[in-house]
Amino acid sequence: MAQTVHMIPNPQGGWIVKRVGADRDSGLFQSRGEAENFGRQLSMELNADFEIHHLDGTVTREPLRRVRPERR
C-alpha cells in the first residue's frame, strides 16, 4: 500500500503536515504555501501520495505521479 502525506488545517491556526501512521507531525506551518511546498517535497522523498485537506472540508488528492513529474 502506498504511503500518504496529509496537509490539514491546525485548529489553533496554521497548517500541519503529517504522514499516515506517524506518531508525530512532520511539520507545523503558519502559511498554507509553506505547508504545501513542504508536503510535496516530503511526498517526493517518500514516494507517497499527497492529500490537501481544505478549510471547507474538501480534500484534494495528488497521486505520486502528479507530485513527481514524469521524466521523458
Instruction: Supply the pTM of this predicted model.
Output: 0.82
Q: Answer yes or no: is pLDDT of 66 > 60.
A: no
**Residue recorded with cell 517526493:** 44
Q: 26 pLDDT band (50/70/90 cuts)?
A: very high
- C-alpha to C-alpha distance for 45 and 39, rounded to whole angstroms: 10
Residues 11-17 have a mean pLDDT of: 96
Task: Give 33: exposed, middle or buried? Use CB within 10 Å, 0-12, 13-18, 19+.
Answer: exposed
**Residue recorded with cell 501512521:** 21
